[in-house]
Amino acid sequence: MNFKEKYGQYALITGASSGIGEEFAKQLAEKGLNLILVARRKEKLEKLSKKLEERHKIKAIVVVADLLSGNFLDEITQVTDSLEVGLLVSNAGMMYIGNYLDNSLENDLKMIDLNIKVPAILTHHFVQKMVERKKGGIIYTASLLGYMGTPFASTYAGTKAHEIVKGEGLAYELKPKGIDVLVLNPGLTETEMTSNNDFSGMPMKLMKPNLVAKSAIDALGKKVLVTPGFMNNMMIWMTKRMMSRKMNTKMFGMFMKKTF
């Protein structure tokens, strides 16, 4: 598939400075798309931008923005208003693992804003123009944990459940308008987000972010939901076919309690 023809000139990636977002940038650059790299860390973004421009002869624009600031969309649109953004990769996210009441209300609300509110703002802005062009694509990074109530990561799992359900509905609405929607549901992945916890007691191992990003890029336009990794897919199959929601919650509660 020619990504430029199907989606347009530019892909915008949030959380592009590391982890899955950085891998999205590398792999979409290989596809020939120009990039808009959005994150807070200027030095990392500029280093990545230079490398991708030299290696793939594409344009990679850096936008340093705090997505939790009130004017983040203005900072992005100053750059993007004159560009054809045909693929939105809403990847930035925030996770907390631990006792619910040990996390402050402020951090809980930040997680809700970053994981739900920010993707909604970006979707409303960029998809309007995709509809006008009758082509485009959206990738939301959700989580395996969005399929079940997850003790010790209750808010995080809830935000990802929201993205899964929203993505499924949007995929149906937007397909006739030429827009592909995909929800990526990674399990444990080697990123900065998972670096502070011990997941050695979990039944699945941490995946490499390049494989996670590749699963989404390969599935875009073909599937609505994708979960990378055999064990992660087995876990979803078990949660849907063999276990009640109460059993799922109890099982994941036992696993998650050992990670912090």
Active site residues: 156
Buried b / exposed e along 200-223 (16+ C-beta atoms within 10 A): eebebebbebeebbebbbebbbee
Structural tokens at position 241: 């076919």
Cα angle: 234, vertex 237, 238; to 5 degrees: 85
C-alpha 90/C-alpha 203 separation (Å) is 28
d(CA 33, CA 14): 15
Residue showing tokens 């276990």: 243
CA pair distance 23, 10, nearest whole angstrom? 16
What angle in degrees, to the nearest 10, is found between the helix axes of 154-174 and 105-112?
Answer: 20
Q: For residues 236, 248, 161 and 237, what is the CA-based torsion angle, rounded to 10 degrees? A: 10
R_g (Cα) of the chain, nearest Å: 18
DSSP-H helix ranges across 3-71: 3-7, 19-30, 42-56
